[in-house]
Amino acid sequence: MDGERPLTDSALPNIASEPSGQTALVSKLSFEQTIARSLVHRAAINEVFLTDSAEIGKRQWAVAAMLPRSHMLFNDGGNPNYLDPLAIMEVARQVTEYVAHRYARVPQDHFLIFRGMNVAFTDPDVLRPGPEPARVVVIVNARTSERLNKRPVTIMVDGRECAVLGGKWFPLPRRVFASARERARRKQFANEQSLPQTDKSETLAEPSRVGRFNPRNVLLANAAADGSDAMVFDLVIDQSHPVFFDHPVDHVPGMVILEAARQAAVAALGEHRHAAPNRTLIVNCRVNFDTFCELDLPTRCRVTIDASQRAIDDHKSRHQLTVSFEQARTAVGTIALSMLENLA
């Protein structure tokens, strides 16, 4: 990494209306080294993207992050002309954990339960990579509202606004979390036992079909068309994966669900709209988690193309898709995606 290069005031347009003191604090954020792993619930140093933070007002914080230029997941396949939107979402997840522990005084032995997220990429062109690693600044304004629809988080990449985001989460003490997990597991396994048992082999999806190069990053198997605008898959769980399972967990991580949804959407657009996986990009994502997704139960994934609008801007097409996940005939999560196609 080269020497410290602070962002200038002119590179922070979306906080220009705030007091000059806030802009000065943000401009002094450092990208020199990462924060403590425990504050973002990561075991490996290379999976920590946050580098610094500052309190810039009452219940307002700025957090700095640097995106990796070589990463097993976020630099594997996808659209090569853009930074991976899921990498931005991972930064947002880490910011949530960090702000909760560092500023909201949530004890580190508490579990943060994520129930939903809504992110809109306001200017996809900001995601075009530059000659140096992307520097991300996340502004959290908890004064506005912590509700999902208010999206109180603003994300900038190299000084330009990239996305706005909101989420639903709450902390649980370890004993309360353990009790909630036990109830959820009992309910899911009772539902599973009432279903007919079948033995099914896995046929992993071709990496190129789901927008990946590395087969280890493929999360879907047994792909099948389901009508003219839908596909179904089985979720593949590999608990030895160093990114998805950076540390031991007792349920399927949210990032696995997000990436599986993206892969399902890419496959469906290729199957039904002949869209090339390397020419698509997520520009809006709404996530709702209904319950925990169990590691040891079969998970069915279904994606539907709800609408397609051709040549809306500079020969780009926009597609709206819904991806749902089910275990034991019970919904565990739904993700609504808006994706642009033909992005060069």
pLDDT in tens, 148-190: 456 689 999 999 999 999 888 888 998 998 898 888 888 888 8
206 in the same domain as 80: no
**299 and 269 belong to one structural domain:** yes
Q: How far is CA 14 from CA 31, 74, 155, 156, in A?
A: 20, 26, 10, 9
Question: Residue with structure tokens 């996340």?
Answer: 138
pLDDT, the chain, mean: 88
Looking at the fold, whether 35 and 148 belong to one and the same domain comes out as: yes
Do 198 and 168 lie in one domain? The reply is: no
> What is d(CA 297, CA 300) in angstroms, rounded to the nearest whole number?
10
Number of domain units in the chain: 2
For residues 36 and 157, what is the distance between their CA atoms, to the nearest angstrom? 22
Query: Of the candidates 322, 338, 334, which has an alpha carbon nearest to the alpha carbon of residue 285?
Result: 338
pLDDT tens digits along 90-117: 999 999 999 999 998 889 888 888 889 9
Average pLDDT over residues 204-232: 96
Domain enclosing residue 96, as ranges: 9-172
Q: 252 and 163, same structural domain?
A: no
Burial of 321 (0-12, 13-18, 19+ CB in 10 A): buried
3-state SS class at 35: coil
Asked if residue 168 and residue 199 are part of one domain, the reply reads: no
Distance of CA 259 to the CA centre of its chain: 7
| pLDDT at site 14 | 46
Give the CATH number, domain containing residue 149: 3.10.129.10
| pTM: predicted TM-score of the whole model, two decimal places | 0.89
Of the candidates 72, 70, 78, 66, which has an alpha carbon nearest to the alpha carbon of residue 282?
78
